[in-house]
Amino acid sequence: MDNSTANTNVSRVARINPNMVAPQMSPTSTENQNKTAEVQKPQTVKSPYERSGVDATVSGKRNDESSITGGAYQPVLITEVCDLPSKGLLYSSLGPTLELRAMTTIEERMRLSGENFWSTMTAILNRCKVGTDYDMSNLTDFDFFAALVKLRIISYGNNYKTQAKCLKCGKEQIINVNLDEVRCSTLEDDFVEPFEIGPLPMSGDVLTCRFLRLYDHISISNEVNSWLKKHPNDTMNNPEYTLTMEKMLVTVNGIKLNDMQKRHYVENMIGADSTMFHDKIDNMFYGIHRLGTCKCEEKDCGATVLYQIAPSDSFFRATPLNN
């Protein structure tokens, strides 16, 4: 199985802003008629990237003009379709693609003021999804990251700048990544969840597991935060590691466990069983390949430099030219 050559350069469909209708003002006087004529004048709207001299190719579908509808300014609407790495196979009512609109200042404000990365970005995705009521907190983390990359491309352009250090010569370098060309692995068409892990080497147990969802990450980060408040000096027992395993575990030897039983089982797994669990999970990689490599830019070095695509603060920023 090699699905790793698919990329995120997905089909793009133009979408008409549903609010782009003629102004609703009723021309009761000549003055009003003149005003109406004025606002109806076609406006040439430069993309924010053209205006700011930013190298950002926004190739998605968009209406070409902003408009004024019923007195309210209607900005240019850019939407694109994101191919989900899961192909939608894991969801009750979501197809293989997700249409998203660009983030606006309101979502940027949410992002900057949000305290929990997972819940904030879930709320933003729920605002930016187009044409579906499906709750984005049900997305797996790998579909979530693909959606974030798409949101970044349509909101800030596809040029992502990141930093990396050559481990051979120590040279710090700036790497420009075209987010439209990052590699992405997709789920096999016959993939079924929950999936099986085992028999485990020590206990012989056979587990069934599922992928983490955004609601799991939100729950885990809330639990970890409240634990950290209660145990500010305990550096040994942070529950994040086992919470993650608990959330993924569905059955043991065909028996469905409740939350308490899962916790007990996970915390008491023998080392080799736990290692096999993690190895299997790590090998089931789907979605966008976050790690990339390039040649060191230092003359005569020639080493391979590893860089990472991470949804940090600088991820949701346009990349200026000449940098």
**Residue among 132 and 304 whose Cβ is closer to Zn ion:** 304
Q: Which of 168, 231, 264, 289 binds Zn ion (CB under 5 A)?
A: 168
Cis peptide bond upstream of 85, omega within 30: no
Residue 214 host element (H or E): helix 214-230
Half-sphere exposure of 61 (CA within 13 A, CB side): 14
Residues numbered 203-222 forming contacts with Zn ion, rule: CB under 5 A = none
**Residue among 89 and 169 whose Cβ is closer to Zn ion:** 169
**Residue among 206 and 301 whose Cβ is closer to Zn ion:** 301
Residues numbered 220-259 forming contacts with Zn ion, rule: CB under 5 A = none
Amino acid at the residue 20: M
According to DSSP, the residues that pair with 249 across neighbouring strands are: 209
- Contacting range for Zn ion; rule: CB under 5 A; set: 123-131, 273-281, 284-292, 294-302: 294-302
**Residue among 229 and 299 whose Cβ is closer to Zn ion:** 299
Amino acid at the residue 224: V
Q: Which of 242, 251, 303, 320 binds Zn ion (CB under 5 A)?
A: 303
Residues 6+ apart with CB under 8 A from 66: 43, 45, 73, 74, 75, 76
Q: Which of 6, 39, 301, 315 binds Zn ion (CB under 5 A)?
A: 301
**Residue among 164 and 249 whose Cβ is closer to Zn ion:** 164
Q: Is 232 left (phi over 0), alpha (psi -120 to 50) or beta?
A: alpha
- Contacting range for Zn ion; rule: CB under 5 A; set: 1-9, 21-29, 132-140, 167-175: 167-175
Read off the tokens for 309: 């695509």
Q: How far apart are CA 146 and CA 8, in angstroms?
A: 8
- Contacting range for Zn ion; rule: CB under 5 A; set: 39-47, 150-158, 165-173, 264-272: 165-173
Q: How far is the CB of 280 from Zn ion (least distance, A)?
A: 35
**Residue among 45 and 301 whose Cβ is closer to Zn ion:** 301
Question: Environment class of residue 59 by beta-carbon count within 10 Å: exposed (0-12), middle (13-18) or buried (19+)?
Answer: middle
Decide: is 296 part of the binding site for Zn ion (CB under 5 A). yes
Residues at the interface with Zn ion (CB under 5 A): 166, 168-169, 171, 296, 298, 301, 303
